[in-house]
Structure 1
Amino acid sequence: MGNRGGGIVLQPDTLRWFRERSTITPEDVSTSTQFLRYLGAENKVIFEEKAEWHYSSWSVMYNSLLADFGRESYVLGEYAVGFDQDPEGVDVRFVSGRTERADLVVFADGITSVGRKRLYPDAGLSYSGYIGWRGTVLESDVSPETAELLGSSLTYSVGPDTHICMYPIPGPDNGFEVGKRLLNYVWYRNVAEGPELDEILTDKRGFTGPVSVHPGQVQDRYITEMKAAAAELLAPAAAELVNLTAEPYIQPVLDVRTPRMIQGRVALIGDAAFAARPHAAAAAAKAAADAWALAAALSKNDNVATALAKWEPGQLQVGRDLIDRVTRMGARSQFQNTWTPGDPDLRFGLYGPGQ
C-alpha cells in the first residue's frame, strides 16, 4: 500500500505528530501553497486571497509513519475478519488463521470497516449523488501558464452542477521542489444512483467497485467523455490537467455515520466511524484527532471502559458536525449552484470553516 499517490490536505491535527513526536519535520512530508484562487473562462482569476495550506500524499504519509513506528510494530499483509469480546479482552481473527487477544481493539480500517459492520451493521454507506474523478499530473508536464496558476494556490474551477479542486502534492522520488511535484485534483460530477452509477463503477474486468475504480481500470469510454466534458465545463488550466491524466480513477462520494464509536473494549476511529465527503479536506485530520483524543483519555484512565466512555461523546459530536457541514457544501456545488467563489463558509477545516 506504500505506493498510493492521492493527495492529502495537512490540517493541524494531521501535522501534530511531525511537530511533536517525530524526527521527520512537517517540511519533510509536505508541499505548500500561498493563495486560494478561483479560475473562470479563459483562466481569468475571478477570486484570489492569501491563504497558506500544506499538502502531502497518501504514500508519503504512510511511509513516513511506518518509518517512525518501525516495522517490528506492524504485521503487514494481514486482514482482520472478525472478533469476539468478553469483559476482560477482545479476540481478533484474521483470514490467515491467526488470532490475537488484546485489552483494547481500535478499528481504523476505513470506509469499509469490518469493525463497524460487526458493531453497527445498519450504519452503511450513503451515496451523495455524485462521484469524484481523481488524478495527478507531473507539474513539469503542464504548460507554463497552467503551472503558474496551479502551482502556488489551492485552486477551484466551478461550473453548473460541478466543481474541481486542485493543489500540488509531493511527486515521485520525494519530489517536493517546484517542477517535480504532482498536480492533484478531485473533480465532482453528478451521476444518478442506480444503473447509471453501477455501470460507471464497473471496471474493465467486470467487477463493480463500491468505493473506487482504481487507476487503469476505469472503462475507456468514460475517460473519453470525461476529458471532452472538461473543456466545456472547466477553466482551461483545469481542463488541461484533466486531459493530461494518464490513468484517472473514480471514487463515488459517500457518507458514513455510525451511532456510536465504542462497544465494550472495541473502538472505531477515522473513516471507520464517520466518513465525510472531501469538501472540508478533513478525513485525515478527523482520524488524527480521534487518535490524539483517545490517547489522552487512555493516559488519564487506567480502566479501558472508563477511558472510552469519556472519549466518545466529543468525537461523536465532531463527526456529526463535519458530515452535516460537508453535506451542505456538496449540495451548494452539485445541486443548488450556490458555491460562491471566496465564500468563507466553503473553506477547509475539521472543526469549522478555516478551523
Structure 2
Amino acid sequence: MNIVIIGGSNTGLMNGIVLKRLGHNVRILEQNPESKRDDLAAGITTHPIFEEFMDCHDRTTEPWSIHSPGVQFLDKAAAVTRRLNKRLQMTSWGVIYHHLRANFDGFSSNFCPNPPEPEKEDGVTVFECGKRVTGLGHITSGVEITYEDLLNQKEEGKLLADIVIIANGANSALRSSIFTGVERVYAGYVAFRGTVPESEVSEEAKKTFDPNLSYNSFNNGYILLYIIPGTDGSIVPGHRRYNWVWYHPLTTGSPELENIMTDTSGVVHRNTLPVGTMQPSEWAAYVALASKVMCPPFAEMVQKTTQPFITAISDASCPRATAFNGTVFIAGEALNLMRPHMALSTTQSAMQALMLEKFFKHEITLSEFEEQVLQYGRVSALKTNAFGSFFLYGYLSSAGWLVKLAGAVLGGLPPFSWLSDLTEVESVVQK
C-alpha cells in the first residue's frame, strides 16, 4: 500500500517504521523545513511497551537510554522519605528521534552515524521536510492530500494515498477539522523544564540524585529529576545531563500566566514557550521561589538552568482513532494528549504503532484496533491526571480522577463528557 503520514516526529516515525517493515511504501510529510532536529531539552522516561517497540524494530547498534534502578522521594532537607525499586530507562527526545530516523529512512546523524541498511522485505520510505498539509479528502480510491511546499514559495501539491495517518501533534488542525470541537483545554498549571550539564552539578547534588528518578513535593507544586544522555547522545558519565520538570499552578487568564508565556520579543505563547525565549526578569522570580520551597539539590538545578522552557499543561482527546471509513488513522498526541506526569505519551505512541502492526497483519480487526487504542488512551490519561493532582494538591484533589478511572476500567467511561457531542466530517481543509 501507499501510505502517507502527516507529521515526522516520533509518533509518525514509529508508525512509519512498522509499516515499512511490513513492505508498505511510506511517505512522511513534515512541516519543519529542517531534517536534523534539536532535542528540545526534553527528557523522556520510557516504559516496557516502548522498550518492546525498540527491541522489535531498532536495527541500530548505538545505546539509547540510561538505566535508573528506582524512584526516591526527598523532603525539604533532601533526606529520602520513601524509595521504590522500579527499573526505568531514561533518554531524550533527540536521541529517540534520531534513532527512529535511522531506522525509517537511513538518516545519518551524530547520534546514529551508521544507520542500518534497508532489508529485502522493506517498503520504500521518503521523509519530506517543509510540507504543510492543508486538506484531506475522502475519495473512492483512498484519500486525497493537499499540501503547501514551504521550501518552494508555498507551491501547492496533491498526493493520493491508500491510508493516511495524522500524527502532527496535539495542535493538529486536521484532527480538529475532522472531529469538530476537539481542542486543548488548559489544566490550570504549567511545567517548567530544563537541563543542567553533568559537569556543572555539585558533588553533593550528585550524591543525592544519582542514579534515581527523584521527587520533591511542596505546597501546591512538585519537581522531579533524572539523568538523560548529553546533547550528542552520550551516556558516558560526565557527559550526560540532569533533566528536571517543575509543576506549578497558574490560574487561567491570570497576569502571572501571561507574563511567563510572553517571550523576549513580546509574543505571548499559548501552549509552549520555547527554549531560550523566557524573559530573564520573569525567570529570576521563579529561581528565587525555588530556593524557598525546594530542597537544596533541586534548587541548585533550577538556579543553574539558564534556558528553561515552559509547557502549559492541557487536555485534549479525540473520540475516534479512525476516520473516512478506516482510511485515516489518528495517532499520538493528535489522538490523545496526556499530561506528562507519568511519561506515558511516548509509550502511547509505541502501543498504537504495535497495534497498527497487528491490524495490518490481520491479527485484529479495525474495530478491535480502535477499541484498544482508545481504551488505553482513556485509562492512561486518567491515571496520569490522578497522579499529578495528588502530588500537586493532595489526596482529595485526585479522588474525582480516580472515580473516573474506575469507570473507564470497568465500563468504558470517556475521560471528558463533551466528547460524545462531536461529529466526523468527510473532508477537511486547513487554512
User: Same fold judged by TM-score > 0.5?
Assistant: yes
Question: Structure 1 stretch 108-117 or stretch 247-256: which is displaced more?
Answer: 108-117
Question: Structure 1 stretch 197-206 or stretch 170-179: which is displaced more?
Answer: 197-206
| Conserved? CA contact 2:58–2:99, under 8 Å | no
Partner of residue 299, structure 1: 361
| Distance of 2:396 and 2:76 partners within structure 1 | 18
Equivalences for residues 321-336 of structure 1 within 5 A = 321-336=379-394
Pair 1:14 & 2:50 matched: yes
| Conserved? CA contact 1:82–1:118, under 8 Å | no
Counterpart selection for 1:236 from 296, 307, 312: 296
| Distance apart, 1:288 and its partner CA | 1.0
Partner of residue 268, structure 2: 208
Partner of residue 333, structure 2: 271
| Distance of 2:177 and 2:397 partners within structure 1 | 38
Change (3 A) 1:318 1:292: same
Pair 1:221 & 2:281 matched: yes
Partner of residue 86, structure 1: 139
| SS of equivalent residue, structure 1 residue 28 | coil
| Conserved? CA contact 2:259–2:282, under 8 Å | no
| Distance of 2:230 and 2:381 partners within structure 1 | 31
Pair 1:151 & 2:187 matched: no
| CA offsets 1:123-152 (integer angstroms, 9 cap, x no match) | 110111100000000112110011122221
| Distance of 2:169 and 2:50 partners within structure 1 | 16
| Distance apart, 1:330 and its partner CA | 2.3
| Distance apart, 1:337 and its partner CA | 6.2
Partner of residue 191, structure 2: 132
| Conserved? CA contact 1:80–1:114, under 8 Å | no
| Distance apart, 1:338 and its partner CA | 6.9
| Distance apart, 1:307 and its partner CA | 4.7
| Distance apart, 1:206 and its partner CA | 2.0
| CA offsets 1:282-339 (integer angstroms, 9 cap, x no match) | 00000111111012112207xxxx9533311111111111112222222222233679
| SS of equivalent residue, structure 2 residue 77 | helix
Change (3 A) 1:69 1:206: same
Change (3 A) 1:328 1:18: closer
TM (normalized to structure 1)?
Answer: 0.90
- Which amino acid in structure 1 is aligned with residue 50 of structure 2? T
Pair 1:74 & 2:127 matched: yes
- Which amino acid in structure 2 is aligned with residue 107 of structure 1? I
Counterpart selection for 2:93 from 45, 55, 58: 58
Aligned CA RMSD, in angstroms, stands at 2.2
| CA offsets 1:68-102 (integer angstroms, 9 cap, x no match) | 11155211232222211124311112222122111
Q: Which has the larger radius of gyration?
A: 2
| Distance of 2:200 and 2:167 partners within structure 1 | 36
| CA offsets 1:162-221 (integer angstroms, 9 cap, x no match) | 001111110022220222111001100000001432332121222222220011111222
Counterpart selection for 1:179 from 225, 228, 238: 238
| Conserved? CA contact 1:203–1:213, under 8 Å | yes
Tell me the number of residue pairs that the alignment of Structure 1 and Structure 2 aligns. 338
| Distance apart, 1:35 and its partner CA | 2.2
| Distance of 2:390 and 2:195 partners within structure 1 | 26
Pair 1:105 & 2:140 matched: no
| Distance of 2:334 and 2:185 partners within structure 1 | 14
Pair 1:2 & 2:37 matched: yes
Pair 1:282 & 2:344 matched: yes
| Distance of 1:177 and 1:337 partners within structure 2 | 40
| Conserved? CA contact 1:161–1:337, under 8 Å | no
- Which amino acid in structure 1 is aligned with residue 214 of structure 2? T
| Conserved? CA contact 2:263–2:269, under 8 Å | yes
| SS of equivalent residue, structure 1 residue 84 | strand
Counterpart selection for 2:83 from 45, 48, 52: 48
Partner of residue 17, structure 2: none
Partner of residue 117, structure 2: none
TM (normalized to structure 2)?
Answer: 0.74
- Which amino acid in structure 1 is aligned with residue 42 of structure 2? G
Q: Which runs of 5+ in 2 are unaligned?
A: 1-35, 108-124, 150-155, 403-407, 410-431
- Which amino acid in structure 1 is aligned with residue 373 of structure 2? Q
| Conserved? CA contact 1:90–1:101, under 8 Å | yes
- Which amino acid in structure 1 is aligned with residue 71 of structure 2? L
Partner of residue 253, structure 2: 194
